Every structure is written in C-alpha cells, then in structure tokens.
C-alpha cells in the first residue's frame, strides 16, 4: 500500500493547485473512495468541496475529472473549513482539553504540555494563544478563556512565549514578531525614546515571504507563571505515552473545550486545505490530516492521540462534517519541542 500511496501522491501533487483553484474546492487529499454511500477499500484522490454542484451547472474546466493519471477521484461535500474558536470550568492544575485563550480572543483548548530547554510550556494553536498573529510575546493567557469567564488577574495562567506566524492569502503576513529577541530590542529602544521625550514607538514585526504562501502549522507556546498550575495529562484521556505518525484509517481521539472526549478516524492524509479565519482572512495549509467530524468551535488546540495514547496531531480547524489536524511532527519541529517524559 505504501508504494501505491506514493504513486497517488505524485499524481496529486502534479494537479493539486489546479484542483484547489476550481470553484467550491476547499481541500484535496488521499483517502478511500465512497461508492453508493459505502466506504470502499479503493484509494482515491479526494476533492472536498464547500457544496456539491451538478455537473451540468459547471463548465468543462470546472468539472473534477473522474480519474487523474489512472487514479480515481471522489468529490466530497465537506463544507467550508473554519478555524475553530468559539464560545467551561477553571482548573488548577489545568490539564489538556480545557478552555484557554489569549486575553483578546473568545476561547480555545489547551492542547497539552511540552518541554523545551528543560522548561514546561502549554501547546495550543496560534489563533488560540496568539490571536491569529495579532498578539505580542508576553501577552496574558487565561484559563478558562475569556468567553468562559476568564479574567485578569485571577485566571492569568501563562504568558505567550512563541508562535509560528500564519501566512494569510490576503496580506503579506505582517504582524507582531514572534521573536523574543526582536521584541526585547524594540522594548529597549522604546524605553530610550521615552527617556528623551519622543512619542515615537517601535514594534517588532515579521514579514512573510511572498513565495511562501502556504502553512504547515497553526501553533503557539505559552509559559506557565507557575508550573504547579498545569498538569501533564489530558482530561478524560490521561498521560501522553509518545509520538506517532497519523496514518490513513487510524482511529484517533481528543479531548476539547466544547465537545469533550470524542473519537474519529483519519480519512485523508497529505491534505491541502483552505481555512477561513473570519474577517476576510484565509490561509492555505499543506501536509495536513483530515478526520471525520470530531470537533466543534472552541475545540481548536486539542491534542489528537491514537488509541495507544500517542500524540499524532494538533486540531485546528473543522467544518460541519470534518476536522483538520496539523501533523504533530511538523508542530514539534516548528517549535523545537518534545513531549514531557515523566
């Protein structure tokens, strides 16, 4: 199957952008074909659409071919994928799977604890901890999130430490810099400006490369104010045992702020998907995993595990019928973190 999968991946990569540019197409990936409402064991290129349109209403260029280089296709009405952030209890210590959020958002989910340079950090999404690039390093993180009643100073559990910027289609990706060194330099210069009476202030920003219009992760870290206030477990699941690769057909589980403990199956791998972040912002993500519907708004940031409690993904988006995960290897590599082994 691995050899067959590689051949399909090659075929898909040759036409992926062409497919993604067709009307209503929101994702492409590799999965099992559904025929007459039943899941088969035939691998196919899955084209997810916001809504299914009759072929007669489409032009020849807009129609998805029935096969690509001999590989069958399957058009699947997934709906539009949106970053899941929406409108629960205060936990001390706080485990993964509970409400959390940047002071200026509604609420998302605390994914899990990770370690970096011997210190513990909270892992979740950029759009949960860093307000979709609009936060500054050091901003307060509340548990529960603001929508769930979290407020300052009583629910201030951590400070934003680092985030991977999301590159949006609509702009150049400019925003507050995720680099602590750049922010520190700006702080020194602003202090000097204040001392000499200048009203000018600097803000460290990043500018995404115009040639790097795709993303692999929506992730961020927050440093707990007190490590005793966080728990290296996931609510209703327990401790993470290790790290594993998310595979096609794998059974997975998560615990999230909104829908609690849910299970699902990885239906597609090697997914490219457009995700709406509201207010006219859309971002393209590549190398993602797609499951059936196992989440709702506010579950963003949830750690997704296999049945052996190995972490395989970080939940960040969903539609009415499906959920999208960052591959955990990409998340850990981007942030240079590991699971906590205790």
Kindly state whether residues 53 and 99 are assigned to the same domain: no
CB 243 within 8 A of CB 332: yes
Number of Cβ atoms within 10 Å of the Cβ of 154: 8
Domain count of the fold of the chain: 3
Q: Is the dihedral of CA 261, 264, 268, 273 positive or negative?
A: negative
Assess if residue 340 is contained within a domain: no
Assess if residue 84 is contained within a domain: no
Domain boundary among 230, 259, 294: 230
Assess if residue 88 is contained within a domain: no
Q: What is the pTM of this model?
A: 0.82
Kindly state whether residues 100 and 224 are assigned to the same domain: yes
- Between 53 and 269, whose confidence is greater? 269
Assess if residue 82 is contained within a domain: no
Kindly state whether residues 219 and 246 are assigned to the same domain: no
Tokens standing for 40? 């088969």
Kindly state whether residues 226 and 330 are assigned to the same domain: no
CB 275 within 8 A of CB 285: yes
Query: Residue 47 — φ and ψ, nearest 5°?
Result: -110, 110
Domain boundary among 203, 230, 257: 230
Average pLDDT for 247-251:
97
Euclidean distance between the first and the last CA atom of the chain, given in angstroms as a whole number:
36
Assess if residue 341 is contained within a domain: no
Kindly state whether residues 119 and 65 are assigned to the same domain: no
Kindly state whether residues 206 and 111 are assigned to the same domain: yes
Kindly state whether residues 136 and 187 are assigned to the same domain: yes
Kindly state whether residues 226 and 104 are assigned to the same domain: yes
User: pLDDT exceeding 70 applies to what percent of the chain?
Assistant: 86
CATH number, domain of 311, equals 2.40.10.10
* Predicted pLDDT of residue 122: 99
Domain boundary among 12, 46, 77: 77
Beta-bridge mates of residue 291: 266, 323
Average pLDDT for 209-227:
86
- The C-alpha atoms of residue 106 and residue 100 are separated, in whole angstroms, by 9
Looking at the predicted structure, is the pLDDT value of residue 235 above 90? yes
* Per-residue pLDDT band at 204 (split at 50, 70, 90): low
31-35, 59-63, 180-184, 232-236 — which is least confidently predicted?
Answer: 180-184
- The C-alpha atoms of residue 179 and residue 144 are separated, in whole angstroms, by 26
- Between 15 and 54, whose confidence is greater? 15
Kindly state whether residues 274 and 324 are assigned to the same domain: yes
Kindly state whether residues 117 and 226 are assigned to the same domain: yes
CATH number, domain of 60, equals 3.30.300
- Domain ranges, residue 248: 234-335
pLDDT digits 0-9 by tens, 56-106: 888 888 999 999 999 999 999 999 898 875 448 999 999 999 999 999 999
């Amino acid at each position: 199957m691995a050899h067959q999968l590689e051949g399909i991946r090659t075929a898909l990569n040759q036409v992926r952008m062409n497919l993604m540019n067709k009307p209503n197409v929101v994702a492409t990936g590799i999965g099992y074909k559904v025929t007459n409402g039943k899941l088969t064991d035939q691998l196919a290129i899955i084209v997810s659409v916001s809504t299914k349109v009759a072929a007669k209403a489409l032009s020849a260029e807009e129609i998805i071919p029935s096969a690509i280089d001999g590989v069958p296709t399957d058009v699947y009405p997934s709906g539009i994928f949106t970053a899941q952030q929406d409108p629960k209890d205060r936990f001390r210590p706080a485990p993964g799977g509970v409400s959390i959020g940047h002071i200026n958002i509604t609420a998302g989910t605390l994914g899990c604890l990770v370690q970096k340079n011997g210190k513990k950090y909270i892992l979740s999404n950029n759009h949960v901890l860093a307000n979709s690039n609009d936060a500054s390093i050091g901003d307060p993180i509340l548990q529960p999130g603001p929508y769930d009643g979290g407020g300052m100073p009583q629910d201030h559990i951590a400070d934003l430490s680092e985030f991977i910027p999301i590159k949006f289609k609509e702009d150049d990706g400019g925003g507050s810099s995720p680099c602590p060194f750049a922010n520190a330099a700006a702080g020194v210069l602003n202090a000097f400006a204040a001392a000499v009476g200048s009203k000018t202030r600097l803000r460290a920003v990043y500018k995404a490369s115009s040639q790097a219009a795709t993303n692999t992760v929506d992730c961020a870290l927050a440093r707990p104010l007190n490590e005793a206030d966080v728990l290296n477990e996931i609510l209703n699941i327990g401790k993470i045992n290790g790290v594993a690769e998310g595979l096609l057909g794998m059974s997975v589980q998560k615990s999230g702020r909104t829908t609690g403990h849910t299970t699902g199956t990885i239906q597609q791998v090697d997914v490219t998907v457009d995700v709406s972040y509201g207010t006219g912002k859309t971002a393209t993500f590549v190398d993602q995993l797609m499951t059936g519907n196992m989440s709702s708004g506010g579950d963003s940031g949830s750690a997704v595990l296999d049945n052996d409690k190995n972490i395989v993904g970080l939940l960040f988006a969903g539609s009415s019928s499906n959920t999208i995960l960052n591959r955990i290897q990409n998340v850990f590599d981007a942030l240079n973190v590991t699971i906590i082994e205790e």
